[in-house]
A = this chain, B = another copy of it.
Amino acid sequence: MKTKIKEYRAKNNMTQLELAKEVGVRRETISFLEKGEYNPSLKLATKIARQFHVSIEELFIFEDSDLD
């Protein structure tokens, strides 16, 4: 899975810690997410997408090969 979290964070001049607080998780969670190291819950994905006013699909990109 790829994600544009880092890009949108930059656009909004936001640090990992700030984003983490906004969406109620730890900074490390954001760090791992940005690296695509895990597959967030839909709830967390929804919170982050809303934070940036974008769709989930815009923020998280799944290749077909990611869906096995």
Q: Which positions in A face B, CB cutoff 8 Å?
A: 1, 39-43, 45-47, 50, 55-57, 60, 62, 66-67
Contact = CB atoms under 8 A, between A and B. Distances in A.
Q: How many copies does the complex hold?
A: 2
A1 to B, nearest CB: 7
Contact of A57 (B39, B41, B56, B60): B56
Contacts of A55: 55-57
Contacts of A47: 67
A47 B56 CA distance: 13
A56 to B, nearest CB: 5
Contacts of A42: 1, 39-42, 45, 56, 60
A67 B46 contact: yes
